[in-house]
Structure 1
Amino acid sequence: MTTPYEPPAPAPRPPTRPGRKLGPIADSVGSAHRAWLDPMRETYLTSGLTLSELSVRVRLAKSKISELLRGTGLYPRWEIIYSLAIELNLPYWPLHRLWRQAALEAHKTRDWIERSSEKAAVTTHATPPLDHRAFRETVEDDYRLYAQAFLDDDPRDTAVADTFDILWLRWNDALSSPDARRFAWNVLRATVMAKTPHLDGRPEFAGAAFDTVALQSLTTQADRIDQMAESLQLFKAMSRLPDHQLDVMVLRRLYGIAPHNAAALLGVPLAAVRSDERHAVHYLESVICPPTETEGNPA
């Protein structure tokens, strides 16, 4: 079970230099593409480099770099991403894995992927920073539990792996944030939710009803059907909770994680976990078991 993680001292951000403002990421960019594009953009924006300076270093037109960092135009070849990674001092191993995954989702063939990587092949597995590895060992099992509430096995494992790849790319940002644990949890949540089906803007995780402790403890088919109906009703109501309350309820009520461990995972004070749980329970009780209306007018 998770124990509180003490992050190293924050790394100072380099001063930024004036330059042409980069436009936003295009709305058409999918979640897999954003997984590596967001960290690359953030690194560029905090590097102090201008598009003109970066253009000279990588020998690519400034307009093409702008398109790449906004996700417009054709999906970029790996050799271009690799040259930018070198100038921005980004670790190429997690970047390549995320780039490759997004290429497949963009319907690029494996032959295209291999050909676009010929001049910048990734032949060795690089090692993440020691404190990143220590953090991963501390939280990975609980991250997988959280993802399991929303996703099946393969998407769950992909979401968790993507989370730690993104954190590797943005590790300096995590360390310079007010709380590295909160930063990491936000990355996990965004990655899981990007892969989770949504209905009316809220995540669907009724599948978790098939894996509840209460359900597994029942022996008769009738009891299991009744418990299933109750669980489905509960999870439908839970999906309407505010994000922070939903996360607390998944950790606390679905998996029984202790309050102080939930606080450590989320990177929030223990009091916040207890308050979120209390308000969530009050809401769920009002929805699932509303007070019985009495006949006639109240006294």
Structure 2
Amino acid sequence: MTTDPPLPPNRAAHKRPGRKLGPISQNVGPTHHAWLTPVRTAYLCSGLTLRELSVRVNLATSKLSELLRGTGLYPRWEIVLSLATELKIPDWPLHRLWRQAAFEAHKSREWTARSGEQALTTSHTAPPLDLKAFRELMENHYVRYAQCFLNDDQRDTAVQDTFDILWLRWNEALASSDARHFAWWVFRTTVMARTPHPDGHPELAEAAFDTVALQALTSQTERLQQITESIMLFKAISRLPAHQLDVMVLRRLCGITPRASSSLMGVPLATVRSDERHAARVLESLLCPRNRTEGNPA
């Protein structure tokens, strides 16, 4: 069951009469989920009841409940825009995510046009200056991490979605204990939603063909051997706990320094170094069990 993230401490949900809003449907696609979550958060922080909000946006309470849970038909843009207006959500990033999610829901371009796309009356506005500066600092590192899991198109979409979501939720990020950590959580969630999980773990095998070690080899035999070894290593990495996996991907596959990894994820440098040590020991035990046994005679 999908649940909402914790609300910022200064924007706790108001107690409201009536039935509690149910969770987001498990059938909701990744981009639909991406824009629906901040809309729900804004509603939960607004103090409005479903009935009050339904009057303001001119939508039946039952239909509004369906929209906020991601059930029923995919919503038309003019309805989503009316919600954004009432809940004071930036409409430009919301529209981009809404449009992409419509295509993921197999809606045609004609449908998006007929569904009130022209209702986007505001011009293309710029994100907050501090978010723009944050993007300039983080984007290249985000791209390198996402490249280890996704193809080029999916990688670029995941990174763009991340910054659109952050634009929608920037006040939450700033109100959190560390905006970098909040942003990393948004980014990682976005990447993992698009990453194949064939055995329940994120697939890393694609990255085997873009490693520095592989590029340095010229012999076809050597390259095939390195590919095999890389795939084994990446499968082992994919089974690590999430925080250790992230550190190993950043450190060993992306070549990012411990200090930069710490800043990127918004965690202490000591945590990065500890996670890397623990992960390295786990990987050694998985990939070199014979050497480990021989090194510890009875």
TM-score higher than 0.5 here?
yes
Find the counterpart in structure 2 of residue 220 from structure 1. 219
Partner SS for 2:96: helix
Cα distance in 2, alignment partners of residues 137 and 269 from structure 1: 22
1:14-43 deviations in Å (ceiling 9; x for gaps):
662423311111121121210111111111
Could you tell me whether the CA contact under 8 Å between 1:44 and 1:88 is conserved in 2?
yes
Name the SS for the 1:24 alignment partner. coil
1:166 aligns with 165
Following TM superposition, by how much is the alpha carbon of 1:294 offset from its aligned partner in structure 2, in angstroms? 7.2
Residue number in structure 1 paired with 2:17 = 19
Aligned residue pairs, count: 288
Distance 1:274 1:294, change over 3 A: closer
Q: Does 1:106 align with 2:81?
A: no
Question: What is the alpha-carbon distance in structure 2 between the residues aligned to residue 48 and residue 136 of structure 1?
Answer: 32
User: Does the 8 A contact of 1:14 with 1:47 survive in 2?
Assistant: no
Aligned partner of 2:252 in structure 1 is 253
Do the aligned partners of 2:13 and 2:44 also contact (CA within 8 Å) in 1?
no
Where structure 1 has 5 or more consecutive residues not aligned to the other structure, the ranges are 1-9
- For residues 96-147 of structure 1, what are the alpha-carbon distances to aligned partners after superposition, in whole Å with 9 as ceiling and x for unaligned? 0000011111111111100112551356211111111111111000000000
Asked if structure 2 preserves the Cα contact closer than 8 Å seen for 1:17 and 1:49, the reply is no
* Cα deviations by residue, 1:191-225 (Å, 9 ceiling, x for unpaired): 10111111221011101000000000111111111
* Cα contact 1:17–1:50 (8 A) shared by 2: no
- Whether contact under 8 Å (2:205, 2:231) holds in the other structure is yes
Match of 1:6?
none
Kept in 2, the 8 Å contact 1:11–1:172? The answer is no
Hey, what does 1:77 align to over in structure 2?
Answer: 76
Aligned twin of 2:195: 196
Residue in structure 2 matched with residue 53 of structure 1 by the alignment: 52
In structure 2, how many angstroms separate the alpha carbons of the residues matched to 1:58 and 1:257? 47
Correspondence for 1:90: 89
- Listed as ranges, the gaps of 5+ residues in structure 2 are 1-7
Structure 1, 14-23 or 179-188: larger mean CA deviation: 14-23
Runs of 4+ in 1 over 6 A off after TM superposition: none
For the aligned residue pairs, the C-alpha RMSD in angstroms reads 1.8
Q: Could you say which residue in structure 2 is the equivalent of 1:285?
A: 284
Does residue 136 (structure 1) correspond to residue 135 (structure 2)? The answer is yes
| Number of the residue aligned with 1:179 | 178
Residue 64 of structure 1, CA deviation = 1.2
Instruction: Provide the rounded CA distance (Å) in 2 between the counterparts of 1:171 and 1:65.
Output: 25
Residues 279 and 172 (structure 1 numbering): CA distance in 2 closer, same or farther, change over 3 Å? same
Distance 2:52 2:67 in 1: 16
Q: CA deviation at 1:56?
A: 1.8
1:198 partner SS = coil
- Please tell me the residue identity of whatever aligns with 1:205: L
Counterpart CA distance in 1 for 2:193 and 2:27 is 14
The TM-score normalised by the length of structure 1 is 0.92
Identity across the alignment (%): 67
In 2, Cα distance between equivalents of 1:172 and 1:159: 21
Structure 1 stretch displaced more, 199-208 or 17-26: 17-26
In structure 2, the partner of 1:210 is 209
- The answer to whether the 8 A contact 1:79-1:116 is kept is yes
Superposed CA deviations along residues 213-248 of structure 1, whole A, max 9, x for unmatched, are 000011111111111111111001101000000000
Give the counterpart letter for 2:51 in structure 1: S
Instruction: Compute the displacement of 1:12 (Å).
Output: 3.5
Shift of residue 55, structure 1, vs aligned partner: 1.4
